[in-house]
Structure 1
Amino acid sequence: SAKRFLSIVNSELGAIRYSIKPLNAAANIKFQPYLDADVSNEDSNYGEKFWDIIEANASSAEAYIVTKTKKLDFHVGHAIRFSLYINGELQKVDATVINQEKYVGASFEVKAKAGDELVLYKYGAVISSLNHQKGTFAKVLTGLLDSALGKGFNQMLKEQANAWEDVWSHSDITIEGDIAAQQAIRFNIFHLSQTYTGEDDRLNIGPKGFTGEKYGGSTYWDTEAYCLPFYMITHGQKVARQLLLYRYKHLEKAIENAKKLGFSDGAALFPMVTMNGEECHNEWEITFEEIHRNGAIAFAIFNYVRYTNDKGYLADFGLELLIAVARFWEQRVNFSEEKGKYVMLGVTGPNEYENNVNNNWYTNLIANWCMEYTDEIVSYVKKTEPEKYNALVSKISFDEKNEIAKWREIREKMFFPINEKLGIFLQQEGYMDKEQVLVKDLDPKHRPINQQWSWDRILRSCFIKQADVLQGLYFLEDRFDIETIRRNFEFYEPRTVHESSLSPCVHSVQASLIGDIDKAYELYLRTARLDLDDYNNEVKEGLHITSMAGTWISIVEGFGGMRVRDNKLSFKPLIPKQWKSYSFKVWFRENILLVIVNGESITITNEEGPSLSVIVNDVTQTIASESNIKIAK
């Protein structure tokens, strides 16, 4: 049997316990604990080896390797220490030491009688030059392993269990009556919680986390659009703030990135794919055209502030970023004399099965909203933090009067493609020129189409990879009535193949909003069990970590109907017929709430924090500290 874990108490440590017991005969058992740096890249450049060895050594009880990446002088140190026990007694083993260039460890063989229990403990430490001086690696690794052995496996495991118990106490979702749904949400919450802890604002969340090398561990707009709500509401304000600071610290490079593309005067375009603020993507139709990512980053600031009420972030960091983004949108549009409107040409929306289109409705919408929100925050910071505002004006040469006047002009005259006959917003100009085929009429042998069709065929089709128009209706839901959302949902969802892992969750939330609970449940299961059931036939490349946050969103915002309305938490709960009940917790400012929904009622308990007003089914209720309310549905 085996027990192993990577510590969330000390993220630089891990431990393994292997136990072997011959049951009915004596046996010779061989052990070979090792470190192997002779590994290949499994991303786009398959077979490429990216480690150079700085030093490596091993003895009969430990081994270490210090490596660096070939292209950058980034060092990683790895060390292990191991010991063998038989029936609880530490053994002195006669080990053969293995000291190869990229492979170090030891090999030893032990004779065991029937009934003997052999236990091998292996402690591992991993550090990098991100956090440690290169010349100190040996000392740091030794100290970490000494600490691990000093505690021992059982104590480390106990600390690990206690730490996870604390995580689950704030983040768990329970579902009664549906084992598949319960398994899926906990699987997703576990991976989200071990992928990002918010300890370091230099770090972010890759779409695959640490489960696969696809995307190279880089950050996309997924973080702001999908992950932020989960971490903000289950792990707290500080963790969410770190995600925002990650982008703020890349603002200078985002301005440089925009400048390379011909923008000026402090306009910023954040990278589509990045680790350190540099653009890492090399496909022009994504890198240069999928510019809606700027909007997601701005929206994350809005979303964070409305949930946490941390308005100090706006004066300290947020407004500077918002102005840079608004400046980008101002320069990216052009005025169409033919339309008498401002237009956005040559873009790629969230639906990446369309490239280089004109007037993507979502991109135009989020650009318009960014300029409006920035205008609002300029007024707020100027009024509440005049000294900080004046310092910022000087720092970035902000011409308040003329720049805001231009943003307002663009907003008033922005073009939005619509189809009046159908009463829908058009994904982009020309979308209705495509042959309109529904996904249900697509031969299953052709799915996923990105694995079966040429790009020429995909781009000419009407099929949608993920929420595009519906992404805008999700973000800015308050600006549209339910019937408008329903019409657009009923038009676009049947044309959506959901071949992005980020797609089902947005559709599930909107299906709940319009009251289509069966569709919402179907899409919840798809997003929740995407990896467990390998819907898209690609789990071998790694799990879909960022979309796992969408699973949480599907329950809390979808079935739970949770929003912030009038500066209060609001709930409009639904429950799938497959469930008897479900529950989740919400960390909202000073309060931690437990929400329980069943077929008859919703119960909200104010577990921590002062008295709080919430809105349930459009009625304001007050919950005293350490008390609850129960409301019939």
Structure 2
Amino acid sequence: MNQDYIIPNEWSIIEEGFEKDRVKSSESIFSLGNGAMGQRANFEELYTGDTFQGSYIAGVYYPDKTKVGWWKNGYPEYFAKVLNAPVWIGINIEINGEQLDLNTCKEVKNFKRELNMKEGLLDRSFVAILPSGLEIEVNVRRFLAADLDELGVIKYDIKPLNGDAKIIYTPYVDAGVKNEDANWEETFWEPITSEIIGEQGFVQARTFKTHFNVVTFMENEIFINNEKQSIAPSAQQKTETKVQFTYEVEVKANEVATIQKFGGYVVSTNHNENELISAAQNVLAQANDLGYEQLLINQKEAWAKTWEMSDIAIDGDTEAQQGIRFNIFQLNQTYSGKDARLNIGPKGFTGEKYGGSTYWDTEAYCLPFYMATKNQEVARNLLTYRYNQLDKAIENAEKLGFKGGAALYPMVTMNGEECHNEWEITFEEIHRNAAISFAIFNYTRFTGDQTYIPEAGLEVLLGIARFWHQRVNWSADKQKFVMLGVTGPNEYENNVNNNFHSNYCAQWCINYALQQIDTVKTNYPQDYERIATKVNINADELAAMKNVADNIYFPYSEEKGVYLQQDGFLDKDLTPVSELDKVERPINQKWSWDRILRSAYIKQADTLQAFYYFEEDFTKEELEKHFDFYEPLTVHESSLSPCVHSIQAATLGRMEQAYTFYLRTSRLDLDDYNKEVHEGLHITSMAGTWMSIVEGFGGMRVKNDTLHFEPRLPEQWKGFSFKINFRNQILKVIVNKGETTFELEGTEPLEVYVFGEKSVVQPSI
């Protein structure tokens, strides 16, 4: 049974009623972020119930020694932890001598939490009866400023309903935090200083080892019935890790006491570490100059601008609409594209699981969303991130015995070093390399930018091709090059031979690199000479690479008429998932790992992932045959699985199946399909949800520098629309029953094809 407490709404995520057993799930779902920082939707006031406290700062991490009892050559030296950052949201509240704590209240009524996705606001309201019998009404609003991305804002209202109240607010900032996933129960923050300047509080702390310096800051104001009060703190306290102020307010029944808090972080990656407190003062000065109301207006305007480009509107299906907007909202909260040093973590700012900042998810799933809804520069920043880490990718390969500039990009990283600590993934899940080459191809195909490859991309493509060339070996038995000991995208098979996806990626990557070498040599001779000298391109090596690409082995079953996921796949019991008892699901929580590895059950698209990437290499009939063989064996226990299957089902015209997969990917976290949302959201798979509409239902492809569409409308929808930024022209696609129309913001007519029929769209402005 999936969770079903989120109320359907097109623009908001709404929870009504206070249930202690779903607090951690809601803390994930209602998370906030602005690209630079974010936090789970923890309560501002004390909560002694089961909670997962988490605030996070983009790019700040800790290299935690891996907790294993053995070591192997080439094994990562550390596991990069996303760090729980100091707390800035805290406001402890005492009313008539009693602590406000929803875990200990006599009763909590009319509890409502709303994540207003349209405007980037988190609201919470409730009526609580304290142990003494005093009844209070509380309304809280929080947002992270979209344009001042070091600033967060809280407005916290309390109205006593059945008596007068003395309210003591104790706002604080606190660097004495730990990670929930700490291996050794250690802290990762070293306190530097805490300071009180007037009514502003600052705590400076530094991460051990990586030495990120962060100042967490706050300033507070008190209002009664919306009128500002000149109430100085009755106490100001500071310790090594914490600063807190105390404000005492007396109100009569039905009067409203408000504390307004500005807080946030300034980080040494953006400021001189010796001037962080003055940088924080500057942020507070800007906030005070604008004031709460103007900050709120700016927030709404910033989100309106974001939605203007990235929204997908669905007519006639509230749950589907809520799902896609939730996904788009979280993607925009996680990564803004402003900073090429940053990337898209799988949990964003919503949890600590997986660690690291960057997975292959970015290139395989996220790039298309940011490329089409932001601009070419944002997409190029994502590619530049990998180019800047090429030296580290070559080091990673060298640790495993590869030579001559072969590059193995990490499965998980913060700075380019591999920091994933599961051997079957660290050493064997090497298809991540192909995702990076494919992203360069995908970017060039979509944007038409021919400059990235000669300027930077060719070095990456060559390093990856060199890796694949060295990773295969010649089989005298098969008279082909084979690839042994890999883990494909399906992590429910480890250490297999001749995984089709990996072998096909190797062939494609080598061929694409060789093609681009020829292109750059012909069209950009100066760049070619620079690169050839720098990385030692020679004809013998290129010929040897071509020989591998031309003679690589693909496992194939004549009987089944399909490429096999790996050599031994047909040795398995091929009982379909439909015949599995539901009490056995999800198998990753019910079965031993040994049993999973010996089963034919597939975690996510594997062979079908190759069919997704390299769609033009296969016929629709081949796709159908492989889809019919593999999908019935797929348990979709990876968040990255349903979106690929939705796209392929739509391509095959199986709209009911495509719709089912779409709902699963779009509501994966809202409905908690995999029973793990309390650990954080699945941010990178959310980009796959966007693809399932644009590439699946919209059928959008780029062929020969031209946009092609094959729109298909699910029966449950009356219509849908989306926008894409294609080569600096904004095209809106509107799909209704029996009709697809376009609106173009640009200066030149745009040629598009719908089901192969050419159409020219004229600019509307």
TM norm. shorter chain > 0.5:
yes
1:425-456, Cα deviation, whole Å (9 max, x unpaired): 10000001011111111121111111111111
Say whether the 8 Å CA contact 2:473–2:482 is kept in structure 1: yes
Shift of 1:216: 2.2
**For residue 160 of structure 1, what is the aligned residue in structure 2?**
299
Shift of 1:47: 4.3
Alpha-carbon distance in 1 for matches of 2:212, 2:439: 31
Say whether the 8 Å CA contact 2:359–2:411 is kept in structure 1: yes
Instruction: Say which of 519, 523, 526 aligns to 1:387.
Output: 526
Shift of 1:355: 0.6
Shift of 1:612: 0.6
**For residue 123 of structure 1, what is the aligned residue in structure 2?**
262
Instruction: Say which of 414, 429, 432 aligns to 1:290.
Output: 429
Equivalent AA in structure 2 for residue 409 of structure 1: N
Equivalent AA in structure 1 for residue 677 of structure 2: V
Equivalent AA in structure 1 for residue 695 of structure 2: E
Residues 34-45 of structure 1: pairs in structure 2 closer than 5 A = 34-43=172-181, 45=183
* Equivalent position SS for 1:77: strand
Q: Does 1:245 align with 2:391?
A: no
Say whether the 8 Å CA contact 2:409–2:432 is kept in structure 1: yes
* Equivalent position SS for 2:180: coil
Shift of 1:598: 1.3
* Equivalent position SS for 2:350: coil
Q: Does 1:606 align with 2:744?
A: yes
Residues 213-612 of structure 1: pairs in structure 2 closer than 5 A = 213-399=352-538, 401-612=539-750
Alpha-carbon distance in 1 for matches of 2:656, 2:457: 39
Shift of 1:44: 5.8
When residues 46 and 86 of structure 1 are mapped into structure 2, their CA distance, relative to the original with a 3 A threshold, is farther
Equivalent AA in structure 2 for residue 283 of structure 1: E
Say whether the 8 Å CA contact 2:233–2:245 is kept in structure 1: no
**For residue 85 of structure 1, what is the aligned residue in structure 2?**
223
**For residue 207 of structure 1, what is the aligned residue in structure 2?**
346
Say whether the 8 Å CA contact 2:171–2:244 is kept in structure 1: yes
Alpha-carbon distance in 1 for matches of 2:555, 2:603: 20
When residues 119 and 608 of structure 1 are mapped into structure 2, their CA distance, relative to the original with a 3 A threshold, is farther
Worse overlay, 49-58 or 414-423 = 49-58
When residues 94 and 326 of structure 1 are mapped into structure 2, their CA distance, relative to the original with a 3 A threshold, is closer
Worse overlay, 181-190 or 58-67 = 58-67
Equivalent AA in structure 1 for residue 349 of structure 2: F
**For residue 149 of structure 1, what is the aligned residue in structure 2?**
288
Instruction: Give aligned pairs, total.
Output: 626
Equivalent AA in structure 1 for residue 336 of structure 2: T
Equivalent AA in structure 2 for residue 411 of structure 1: A
Equivalent AA in structure 2 for residue 464 of structure 1: I
Alpha-carbon distance in 1 for matches of 2:233, 2:488: 63
**For residue 155 of structure 2, what is the aligned residue in structure 1?**
17
Give the gaps of 5 or more residues in structure 1. Answer: 628-633
Say whether the 8 Å CA contact 2:356–2:419 is kept in structure 1: no
Equivalent AA in structure 2 for residue 111 of structure 1: E
Say whether the 8 Å CA contact 1:61–1:83 is kept in structure 2: no
Equivalent AA in structure 1 for residue 278 of structure 2: K
Say whether the 8 Å CA contact 1:62–1:105 is kept in structure 2: no
1:581-630, Cα deviation, whole Å (9 max, x unpaired): 11100110021011111112111111234111011111111111218xxx
Shift of 1:524: 0.3
Equivalent AA in structure 2 for residue 427 of structure 1: Q
Say whether the 8 Å CA contact 1:361–1:469 is kept in structure 2: yes
Say whether the 8 Å CA contact 2:249–2:257 is kept in structure 1: no
When residues 234 and 395 of structure 1 are mapped into structure 2, their CA distance, relative to the original with a 3 A threshold, is same
Alpha-carbon distance in 2 for matches of 1:12, 1:255: 35
Alpha-carbon distance in 2 for matches of 1:258, 1:222: 20
Shift of 1:119: 2.3
Say whether the 8 Å CA contact 1:79–1:125 is kept in structure 2: yes
When residues 94 and 255 of structure 1 are mapped into structure 2, their CA distance, relative to the original with a 3 A threshold, is closer
Shift of 1:118: 2.2
Shift of 1:24: 5.0
TM-score (norm 2): 0.80
Q: Does 1:191 align with 2:330?
A: yes
Say whether the 8 Å CA contact 1:80–1:122 is kept in structure 2: yes
Shift of 1:163: 1.0
Say whether the 8 Å CA contact 1:240–1:304 is kept in structure 2: yes
Say whether the 8 Å CA contact 1:3–1:16 is kept in structure 2: yes
Say whether the 8 Å CA contact 1:43–1:215 is kept in structure 2: no
Alpha-carbon distance in 1 for matches of 2:624, 2:186: 49
* Equivalent position SS for 1:33: strand
Say whether the 8 Å CA contact 2:221–2:228 is kept in structure 1: no
**Which ranges of 4 or more aligned residues in structure 1 deviate by more than 6 Å?**
none
Equivalent AA in structure 2 for residue 567 of structure 1: D
1:233-262, Cα deviation, whole Å (9 max, x unpaired): 011111111110110000001001101111
Alpha-carbon distance in 1 for matches of 2:582, 2:323: 25
Say whether the 8 Å CA contact 1:590–1:609 is kept in structure 2: no
Q: Does 1:3 align with 2:141?
A: yes
Alpha-carbon distance in 1 for matches of 2:704, 2:193: 60
When residues 565 and 94 of structure 1 are mapped into structure 2, their CA distance, relative to the original with a 3 A threshold, is closer
Say whether the 8 Å CA contact 2:345–2:356 is kept in structure 1: yes
* Equivalent position SS for 2:160: coil
TM-score (norm 1): 0.97
Alpha-carbon distance in 2 for matches of 1:446, 1:58: 56
Worse overlay, 84-93 or 416-425 = 84-93
When residues 48 and 576 of structure 1 are mapped into structure 2, their CA distance, relative to the original with a 3 A threshold, is farther
Alpha-carbon distance in 1 for matches of 2:580, 2:242: 50
* Equivalent position SS for 2:209: coil
Alpha-carbon distance in 2 for matches of 1:464, 1:366: 19
When residues 111 and 435 of structure 1 are mapped into structure 2, their CA distance, relative to the original with a 3 A threshold, is same
Alpha-carbon distance in 2 for matches of 1:209, 1:35: 22
When residues 529 and 44 of structure 1 are mapped into structure 2, their CA distance, relative to the original with a 3 A threshold, is farther
Say whether the 8 Å CA contact 2:356–2:412 is kept in structure 1: no
* Equivalent position SS for 1:21: strand
* Equivalent position SS for 2:266: strand
* Equivalent position SS for 2:366: helix
Say whether the 8 Å CA contact 2:193–2:241 is kept in structure 1: no
Alpha-carbon distance in 2 for matches of 1:139, 1:99: 19
Shift of 1:194: 1.1
Worse overlay, 126-135 or 348-357 = 126-135
Greater fraction helix: 1
Alpha-carbon distance in 1 for matches of 2:271, 2:386: 23
Say whether the 8 Å CA contact 1:42–1:214 is kept in structure 2: no
**For residue 9 of structure 2, what is the aligned residue in structure 1?**
none
* Equivalent position SS for 1:307: helix
Residues 617-632 of structure 1: pairs in structure 2 closer than 5 A = 617-626=755-764
Residues 21-36 of structure 1: pairs in structure 2 closer than 5 A = 21-23=159-161, 25-36=163-174
Worse overlay, 29-38 or 564-573 = 29-38
1:122-180, Cα deviation, whole Å (9 max, x unpaired): 11130112112211111111111111111111111111111111110000001111100
**For residue 631 of structure 1, what is the aligned residue in structure 2?**
none
Alpha-carbon distance in 1 for matches of 2:486, 2:182: 25
1:512-559, Cα deviation, whole Å (9 max, x unpaired): 011111110000000000000000000011000000001100000000
Shift of 1:215: 1.7
* Equivalent position SS for 1:286: helix
Alpha-carbon distance in 2 for matches of 1:354, 1:58: 56
Shift of 1:76: 1.4
